[in-house]
Amino acid sequence: MSEMKCNFIAGEWLASSNAIENRNPSDLYDVIGLFAQADKTQLETALDAARQAQRIWAATGLEARQTVLTNIGNELMERSTELGTLLSREEGKPLAEGTGEIHRAGQFFTYYAAEVLRQIGDTADSVRAGIEIDIRREPVGTVAIISPWNFPTATAVWKIAPALAFGNAVVWKPANLVPASAVALAEIIARQDLPNGLFNLVMGAGSTIGQHLIENPAIDAISFTGSVEVGKQIAVSAIGNLTKIQLEMGSKNALVVMEDGDLDIAVAAALGGAFGGTGQKCTASSRLIVHSAVHNEFVEKLSMGAAAMVVGHALKHGTQIGPVVSQNQLDENMAYMDLARAEGGEVLCGGERVSRDTEGYYMTPAVVAGTSNDWRVNREEMFAPIACVIRVDSYEEALHLVNDTHFGLTSGIITRDLARATHFRRNAKTGCVMVNLPTAGTDYHVPFGGRGSSSYGPREQGGYAVEFFTAVKTAYINAGTPS
């Protein structure tokens, strides 16, 4: 039995009476490690320590804070191959995607290191004579961060980095499917010159330790990424304590392919958008809305491209699509394939469980044609390498379908028509819009988020993150007259 990997609480690595084993989804005989599950007492210890440490951190000089964030970012980027390999081994995304995710996580830290020095407020004259007003931002306090398994490091980091940059303490609960990536990141943060308890890692199941965390009145703010169902539970718990929340949840992103678009760009965008990360992305292009004039040619090229994609072990050279993350996810994906057939879809390729040299959760990417936007496969988030094609006869019909969903994270259009692209950019009801690009793939220095059931609360990423991680204070100063 391997040595237990511990939680990081109040500046110490703490074991626990309870632990879980983590296995590689590309090779179920590969045990990655044994990970401690925090209990309620340990969580309370983390919260107490966080509260005290936050006061020290908020009073720490800006350059000292900046140095900490820079160091973490640089180490992540320098070790991106090593840590990316661990991430891919644990989550199942191909090595290039795992390495890229760690590098991106490093960039988030160096970006927010610079933001430390950009905390500049406003001033105003009062309507009352002789009184001046100073408006500045202060840390929000102790932040609970709850992250999903699909981007185990990047999602956590785009919350942790701004939290620390703006002077807050963090209690982080990662998804229990990806504890190894969490411990690796925590080890880097733990080595920095931070007050004990400023950053805490509490591993455990969402239904137990996660639930205790979100219900705790000692938390000032909760930043969550995951399913709509859990997001709603968090909102209900948070409102009881009037805790500030930021929720990033599901989606059902549409990519529109117009008759005037470049079909090669369209096919590349659809393949990357629908099947990158094994389709397990909140920005995945799961609805492909295609104009009838190019429908058959597009669908043929797309199916050929999907059928040619190499499904295999995440760490094997040449793999383009890794396994899905778990047995549960694979079962759900197969059930969605059955549903697509039952609703009347034509499966043009893929959607089958396949075996490889090692035992893992492998399936082939699926293209399903002849679907309707009203079907469940086009309304529910599948989080699977399954793309459903919807045929339309006009731009107006396409735009109507893009917006006919309760989600609203990303959308895209492939067109050479500037007027259409501009109209789409302004009328698609999504937080992010892509023109001649896949629906997936965003930058780190600009806001990210959606509308409807996709997001709730202030935006994440870029300078916009300041809104969630700080509280505004307005001070009135009557300096009097000089003697």
Catalytic residues: 248, 282
CB of 173 to ligand NDP, least distance (A): 6
Among 98, 206, 323, 438, binds ligand NDP (CB under 6 A): 206
| Residue with the shortest CB distance to ligand NDP | 206
Q: How far is the CB of 236 from ligand NDP (least distance, A)?
A: 10
Decide: is 207 part of the binding site for ligand NDP (CB under 6 A): yes
CA dihedral 415, 416, 417, 420 (to 10 degrees): 20
Q: Does 250 bind ligand NDP (CB under 6 A)?
A: yes
**In whole angstroms, what is the distance from residue 67 CA to residue 74 CA?**
10
Q: Which of residues 96-155 bind ligand NDP (CB under 6 A)?
A: 146-150
381 interacts with ligand NDP by CB under 6 A = yes
Q: Which residue, among 271, 231, 267, has the nearest Cα to 249 in the 3D structure?
A: 231
CB-nearer residue toward ligand NDP: 18 or 233: 233
Binding letters toward ligand NDP, positions 169-198, x by CB under 6 A: ----x-xxx---------------------
* 230 vs 290 by CB, closer to ligand NDP: 230
Q: Give me the residues paired with residue 33 across strands.
A: 22
Question: Helices 292-308 & 263-275, crossing angle to 10 degrees?
Answer: 50
Per CB under 6 A, the list member of 39, 115, 248, 460 interacting with ligand NDP is 248
Q: Is 36 in the site for ligand NDP (CB under 6 A)?
A: no
Residue of 187, 197, 177, 190 whose CA lies nearest to 55: 197
345 to 374: interface string for ligand NDP, x by CB under 6 A: ------------------------------
Distance CA 147, CA 178 (A): 10
Structure tokens at 481: 């007259």
Nearer of residues 156 and 271 to ligand NDP, judged by Cβ: 156
Q: Which of 10, 249, 289, 440 binds ligand NDP (CB under 6 A)?
A: 249
Candidate residues 49, 140, 282, 306; the one interacting with ligand NDP per rule CB under 6 A: 282
Binding part of the chain for ligand NDP, among 131-139, 182-190, 207-215, 239-247 by CB under 6 A, reads: 207-215
Give 273-289 as a DSSP string: HHHGGGG--TT-EEEEE
Residue 318, by phi and psi: left (phi above 0), alpha (psi -120 to 50) or beta?
A: left
Report the SS3 class of residue 43. Answer: helix
Q: Which is nearer to ligand NDP, 20 or 263 (CB)?
A: 20
Of the two residues 162 and 449, which places its CB atom closer to ligand NDP in the complex?
A: 449
Closest CB to ligand NDP among residues 257, 382: 382
In the range 1-20, which residues lie near ligand NDP by CB under 6 A? none
Secondary structure of 183-205 in HEC code, one letter for each residue: HHHHHHHHCCCCCCCCEEECCCC
Cα distances (Å, whole numbers) of residue 313 to 28, 119, 278, 352: 11, 45, 12, 16
Rg (CA), the chain: 24
For residue 85, give the 3-state DSSP assignment. Answer: helix
Q: Taking CB under 6 A as the rule, which mask of x and - marks residues 217-236 in contact with ligand NDP? A: --------xxx--x--x---
Q: Tokens standing for 224?
A: 């969550």
449 neighbors 248 (Cβ within 8 angstroms): yes
Cβ atoms within 10 Å of 356's Cβ, excluding its own: 15
Q: Interface with ligand NDP by CB under 6 A: which residues?
A: 146-150, 173, 175-177, 205-207, 210-211, 214, 225-227, 230, 233, 248-250, 282, 381, 383
